Amino acid sequence: MSHAHAELPSMLVSHTGPSSLTEIMGELVIPTSRSSHTLQNGFGIVTAIALHHNQTWLALCSGNTAWLIDVETGAILMTLVHPGHVTSASFSMNATQLATGCVDAIARIWDLTAGTMVQSLTHPDTVHGVHLHPTGEHLATGCQDGVARVFDLRTGTATQSCMAARQTPVRRVFLHESMRWLLTGGRGSLDLWDAQTGAHRSTLLPGKSLLVHGRSTQLGLIAGGCDETLALIWDARSGERLRAFEHPEKVTAVFLTPDSTRLATACGDSIARIWDI
């Protein structure tokens, strides 16, 4: 179901702070120990967060709902209700689709122009992670059964599967724009796979359990994740920790923008933060 241009819940912004998301976003500054801007929400604990690459649309997931928010106007554009808890979200590059994962073992594709679900992909167990390829034709998913899958959305079939070591749940996935590489984050590992053959290539960050995003930049292959109250950015090839962002409580959701310039986070205090990397 969807509701166009509804007002924000009264608790989405702090009563003692700015009165709109536009004021909250403001001018970006490079943070040291503090975020460049914060957003207090009334949706409860945020389990997934996604910022579109144009950085004007934000998806917040809590409980069984994913909200699409227009950052510039402070309006809730859509409310997407699921049968169970929403675990992850990913925008298409052209902002016409949103993919979501859910504990009901289904990955869903939503048409953001109409606010309707247009495709569902059934899995054996909870879908923890989703990532839409920039073309919008493929979706990578991470599942509780320890398998990362790549789906061809034109046919609805899985074209490749990558089995995690010891069948530990795959929490996050990232499908490289070249369609050659797949990054997965699980319990205690961050792994690189050949997306064409399903072969495991390397473990990039041993002991790092949560993958946010990965992208080839001048700094190398960038990956993000969290460790209790810290949101972290690594060079995935060297293992060097590039940035650390401290939170007052345990980090519950993280998202690195496709250009690897900003990190969106949420933690146990129900505040969403956007950091300038």
- Give the best-scoring range by mean pLDDT among 66-75, 96-105, 218-227, 248-257: 96-105
Q: How far is CA 246 from CA 33, 233, 272, in A?
A: 7, 12, 13
Give dist(CA 90, CA 206) in Å, integer: 25
Per-residue model confidence (pLDDT) at position 8? 29
Instruction: Judge whether residue 240 has pLDDT over 70.
Output: yes
What pLDDT, in 10s, does the model give residues 196-217? 898 888 877 655 444 444 444 4
- Is 15 exposed, middle or buried (CB count within 10 Å of its CB: 0-12, 13-18, 19+)? exposed
Report the alpha-carbon angle 179-180-181, nearest 5. 100
CB 133 within 8 A of CB 179: yes
Q: State both tokens at 160.
A: 């490749």
Q: Which helix (H) or strand (E) holds 23?
A: helix 21-25
Q: State both tokens at 272.
A: 């969403």
Per-residue model confidence (pLDDT) at position 231? 81
What would the mean pLDDT of 243-269 be, rounded to a whole number? Answer: 80
Instruction: Judge whether residue 104 has pLDDT over 80.
Output: yes
* Choice among 94-98, 218-222, 252-256 with the minimum mean pLDDT: 218-222
Per-residue model confidence (pLDDT) at position 166? 58
What pLDDT, in 10s, does the model give residues 19-42? 222 222 222 222 333 444 455 555
Residues in the chain: 277
What pLDDT, in 10s, does the model give residues 43-80? 678 888 888 877 778 898 989 999 988 776 667 889 99
Domains of the chain, with CATH numbers?
A: 21-276 (2.130.10.10)
Number of H helices, E strands in the chain: 1, 24
Give dist(CA 234, CA 185) in Å, integer: 13
